[in-house]
Amino acid sequence: MAERDLPATIDLNRASHDELRALPGLGQALAGRIIDGRPYKSVEELLQVSGVGEGLLTRIRPFLAVEPLEQPESAGRRVTGIGEARRPRAASEGISRGTALAVDLIVGLASAVAATGLTLGVLLAINGTLNTGRHEQVAQLNRSVGTLQRNLDRLETELEGVDRRLGALEGLTGRMNEVEGQVATLRQDMAGALRSVESMQTTVDELETTTKTLSERSNRFEAFLEGLRRLLGSPEMSFGDETPSP
């Protein structure tokens, strides 16, 4: 809030809107709510106004005072409450607002009728008739409107075709999702088959190694047997007397 001259002590029940706004921390709306809440018997009753708290009340309390309201002239006259005092005013305001609204409505209708009459008069002066079809520009506009309407119809037909195509594509998308699922399953099966092949290849390699080892052993054993046969067939290994053949 901008710095401004602080007011002197003012009466809470009689201060004007501008005087209340001069108080520190009070804006236009809050000053209006304070005025609407009158009369006040004490400054503390401001706490019942929406937007007024303890801090704000502490700031503005030095500038406020509550003077007693003047008593009615007639002793036997009943002192009316705030709601009763406002009812006649509200009723009069309602009547005046209703009257103003009716006047505004009548003026608006009259203006619309006058504008329509002026437009028709200009049209009559230009065409010599109220038939808008005789004016070349109006006819051209009508033709343009017809062309636009035909274009709109064509676009609607094309949009319907696009919609049908989109529906077909959605069906293909569902099928593609199914195919993708099957492809994923096949890939998993192929991965399992490849692992099985790798395992079988390892087994084959082990068998080849074992076969090679056995072959080498077999060759050595055959060489051993061949050496043994030679040894058994040599003369040095003959036992007993041998009779030479005639």
Locate 239 and state its tokens. 């036992």
Q: Classify residue 102: in a domain, yes or no.
A: no
Q: Classify residue 7: in a domain, yes or no.
A: yes
Which whole number is the average pLDDT over 90-100?
50
Cα Dmax for the chain: 188
pLDDT tens for 12-63 read 999 999 999 999 988 999 999 999 999 999 999 999 999 999 999 999 999 9
Q: Which pLDDT value is given to residue 12?
A: 93
Contact 67, 42 (CB under 8 A): no
Q: Classify residue 104: in a domain, yes or no.
A: no
pLDDT tens for 168-195 read 888 787 788 888 889 888 898 888 888 9
Q: Which residue has the tokens 């009689």?
A: 14
Q: Classify residue 108: in a domain, yes or no.
A: no
Q: Which domain holds residue 209?
A: 134-231
Number of domains in the chain: 2
Q: Write down the pTM of the prediction.
A: 0.30
Q: Classify residue 182: in a domain, yes or no.
A: yes
- Percentage above 70 pLDDT, the chain: 70
Q: Classify residue 96: in a domain, yes or no.
A: no
Locate 39 and state its tokens. 């009369």
Question: Last residue of a domain, which of 44, 68, 92?
Answer: 68
Question: Last residue of a domain, which of 28, 44, 68?
Answer: 68
Average pLDDT, the chain: 77
Distance CA 11, CA 139 (A): 73
241 φψ region: left (φ > 0), alpha (ψ -120 to 50), beta (else)? beta
- Sign of the alpha-carbon torsion through 229, 235, 237, 243: positive
